[in-house]
Amino acid sequence: MPHDLSSLAGFTAAVVVLALTPGPDNLAILSLGISRGRAAAVGFALGCAAGCLTHIGWAILGVAALLQASPKALGGLKFAGALYLAYLGVMSLRSTSGTVPAAEGAASTATEESHWRHFGRGFVANAINPKVALFFLAFLPPFVRPDAPATPQMLVLGLLFIAVTIFVFVPLGLGAAAIGQWLRRWPAAGLWLDRVAGALFLGLAAYVLFG
């Protein structure tokens, strides 16, 4: 076995704590769950988890180390990530239709489109975040045993990271969607929820760029 059970248990516990720590991904999921419903929140959550696949590959290939050594490359990725989050924020602020409770109508085409659209947004937002790439570079190696090949160990740890992320992020999004459904009982609440979501995305863009 590339890892012993105690090592995997410690890694899993650390990932759970990290997934629950406020950051761009889980705050965006909370915001989308409240403002857009279950399809958007779950889609974005799964997209964020899938985006980690890119960082696993980067960490294995050493690209993350290159980013760490190149301030210009790191700055460019930070700017791209912040710009994308700002775009999502502006789109929410410009919304005039209020929220659509995508949680209703489980098999509808609109729900499926919303889910996949937000999946793509979550994937891109996570994949172009250089802080996540650097986190993988710093977080995975301490759990890699020196007496075994590093690549399969990092792959196992990365996939476990994704599984734990899904386990935390999806219930988080569903809970936020339930809160949003309750808030939508008041007239015009959906429009204000979009405004709050837009402001949060813009705040996350600033955090990624300057934090």
Instruction: State which H helix or E strand residue 204 sits in.
Output: helix 189-210
pLDDT higher than 70, residue 27: yes
Confidence band, pLDDT 50/70/90 cuts, at residue 173: very high
- Return the minimum-mean-pLDDT range out of 107-111, 114-118, 200-204: 107-111
* pTM exceeds 0.85 for this model: no
CB 24 within 8 A of CB 132: no
pLDDT given at position 91: 76
pLDDT given at position 3: 56
pLDDT higher than 80, residue 25: yes
**Residue of 139, 153, 181, 118 lying closest to 19 (CA atoms):** 139
Hey, how many other C-beta atoms are within 10 angstroms of the C-beta on 211? 11
Residues with Cβ within 8 Å of 136's Cβ and at least 6 positions away in sequence, in order, are: 52, 55, 56, 58, 59, 64, 158, 161
| Token code pair at residue 38 | 């279950």
Determine what percent of the chain is predicted with pLDDT higher than 70.
72
